[in-house]
Amino acid sequence: MASGAVGDLYQSLIQMTGVSVVGTTDAAGFPASNVLDWQHPSLRWQSDNLTGDKTLVFDLSATPPNYVGFYIRGVNFTSAFLQAHATDSWGAPTHNVAISFSTDSYVKRMQAAFFYLVARTTINLRFARLRIPAGTGVNDGATGYKVGIMVPMVSTVEVENRAPLRRVVTKGVIGNRLVGGAEDVAAVGFRQMTLEFPWTWMWDTTTSPAFNEEANMLALATDREIPVVVVPNLNRQYEAYLGRNVGDVQIESDAGIGASMALIIREIG
């Protein structure tokens, strides 16, 4: 399907417990552990040079979770490989997926949700790796490769996409009103996405319906403290946002025959 076609809405929790990561030739002050610090996306991993292959190797513990792939944000390169294997040996990994990044025109950065399998089913191999091959270029003139956030995605919900979806893009600034009416404005952060889903559906009055849309919607309505990856349109995996639900769960019935439940997801950082 073309990138503009409507695709399913996808949401996933992220796994942090028991996950560790090691990078090759970390630059001073930019350790690999920064990519797991999802609450501070301005922190990052950075390699100390652009020479040879560079990797981030994730150990998901001796009892790895069932995960579908990784959410990756804040890179300065356009291609790499996402791999997974039972052991920390990479001669012939079980999964070796070529991935590519595009700039999200809304927030002006490169990010994406990447899956190991086309069907987005789970795997549970202990080790995962991001491999940036030798010769891969950067788009910002830096002397090292950068990754802001990279976290595994688990416990997913996928539902049929539907209008309307409201996107609100904000950016923190400091303003100073000057004599004569001029105003100085300075940016103090990144662009940030807020997704608003004013969802409505009809009650299914049958017992144990085969398709329970109410259950799907409640699964999307996470608590405020829980971070989720949201992809509003799976045909545009580069429009993927790590955020939190910022509203209360409110279900309003319409004369007993339908209901609405607004979801508001605000991007972190």
pLDDT along the chain (269 residues), means of 10: 70 96 96 97 96 98 98 97 98 98 96 97 98 97 98 94 87 86 84 92 75 83 95 96 91 77 91
Query: pTM of the entire structure?
Result: 0.91
pLDDT at 180: 80
Does residue 81 contact residue 99 with C-beta atoms inside 8 Å?
yes
- 96-125 residue pLDDT tens: 999 999 999 999 999 999 999 999 999 999
In this prediction, residue 1 carries a pLDDT of 39
At 187 the pLDDT is 83
Query: In this predicted structure, what is the pLDDT of residue 126?
Result: 98
Q: What pLDDT is stored for residue 256 in this prediction?
A: 65
Amino acid (1-letter code) at residue 265: I
Compute CA 140 distance to the chain's CA centroid, rounded to the nearest angstrom.
22
Q: How many CA atoms lie within 13 A of 213 on its CB side?
A: 16
Q: Is 253 exposed, middle or buried (0-12, 13-18, 19+ CB in 10 A)?
A: exposed
What distance in Å separates the CA atoms of residue 164 and residue 111, rounded to the nearest whole number? 23
- Within its chain, how far is the Cα of 164 from the centroid? 21
